[in-house]
Chains A and B, each alone.
Chain A
């Protein structure tokens, strides 16, 4: 059966239970669902954070998320994928991102969920701006996010589209 895919970029919050239930709704071949939920922390880099605003690149955001999901589906046997990323101003403890993956066996679901998050962190055009007592500041990208994404690269695929190599060279 064709895996169903849905990507949403939205200001509104989402219903976790409903999203998880939807991943196996009306089918009995799903053996497991792995999910990740990202939340706004009230502390980052030693400063209190009382709000965060997420900016994005409309059009490219949806396209890049859809491409990441397609890559995941080509690598693992997935029965359903759902990615939701919120934009706009969010308060501590609010949900930022949801990734849910349904598959026959847990291995595929766990791996694909982590892969999607690692790629989303380095490829999807979102930017966080934090409001702290010292003023507003843009969040810096972390080296650890790049290394987390890089571990999924396979030798046969490296440089296949040129993007990774060239981005690396420009550092």
Chain B
């Protein structure tokens, strides 16, 4: 069983109505892209994570690409492009 901690920030956090969740990865969900697709498939507000939406990801607090591989205990974050400075 692979359990990861998922975090949501900014407009994504608002759209989803939550700032995070502990999630057990279903079989076959092993990358950032697969996790994103799995979450988007929940439908309704979760389509904010869908393909074509401008969403960035971080794995263990570093910017991560779609192919980044997930491991048990990882912290995965999804958020819109950053706007600091």
Contact = CB atoms under 8 A, between A and B. Distances in A.
Contacts of B11: 127, 138
B78 to A, nearest CB: 11
Interface string B17-48: 00000000000000000000000000000000
Contacts of B65: 162-163, 165-167, 169-170
- Scoring A55, A120, A123 by chain B CB atoms within 10 A of each residue's CB, the highest score goes to A55
A163 B64 contact: yes
A124 interface: yes
Contacts of B63: 64, 123, 163, 167
- Scoring B61, B79, B80 by chain A CB atoms within 10 A of each residue's CB, the highest score goes to B61
Contacts, number: 93
A163 B77 CA distance: 15
Contacts of A121: 82-85
Contacts of B6: none
B19 to A, nearest CB: 10
**A interface, how many residues as a size bin?**
35 or more
Contact of B9 (A120, A122, A127): A127
Interface residues of chain A: helix, strand, loop or mixed (majority): mixed
B66 A124 contact: no
Interface string B48-85: 00000010101001111111000000000101111111
Contacts of B14: 138
B9 A55 contact: yes
A60 B84 CA distance: 13
Contacts of B77: 57, 60, 125
A140 interface: yes
Interface in A121-161: 121-129, 138-141
Interface of B: 7, 9-11, 14, 54, 56, 58, 61-67, 77, 79-85
24 contacts: A55-B10, A56-B84, A57-B7, A60-B62, A63-B62, A64-B63, A96-B84, A97-B84, A97-B85, A120-B84, A122-B81, A123-B63, A123-B82, A125-B84, A127-B10, A127-B80, A128-B83, A138-B80, A163-B62, A166-B65, A167-B56, A167-B63, A169-B65, A170-B66
